[in-house]
Structure 1
Amino acid sequence: DKVQRYDLPARCRAVLFSPIFGRIDPRQIVEWILADKLNVRFQLQIHKFIWSPTQRGV
C-alpha cells in the first residue's frame, strides 16, 4: 500500500523487502509482492541460513 501510495519505485533506486527472521515467513512477503505486482526487490538475511540464526557478528 505505501509502496504504491508514495510511488517509491520511481523515487528510489531500489525498494527492498526483507523479512525479520523468525517473525514472518519469507514466502508470505513474496506472495504479497507477486499479488500486488510490486516493482521491488526481495532479500533474505542469508547469514541466518548459512550460520545459526542466533550467532552474532556474522
Structure 2
Amino acid sequence: MSAGERAKAKAEQGVGKAVRKAAHALGNETTAAKGGALEARGKAREAKEKSKDTFKH
C-alpha cells in the first residue's frame, strides 16, 4: 500500500470518527451518519489497498 493512500485512508477514518462522535454528543444524528460514512469510506480504501498489495506479491 502506498504511503499516500495509507495516510489518506487513516485520515478519513480519523476525521470520520471525530465527526461522528462529536455530532452524536451534540445530538445531531444527520452529521453523525455522515461522519460514520466517511469513516467507512476510509476503511474501504484501506481494504482495497491491502487487497492490491496481496495480489502484487
Judging by fraction of residues, say which structure has more strand.
1
Which gives a bigger RCO, structure 1 or 2 (Cα 8 Å, sep 6+)? 2
Q: Give your verdict on TM over 0.5.
A: no
Judging by fraction of residues, say which structure has more helix.
2
TM-score by length of 2: 0.39
TM-score by length of 1: 0.38
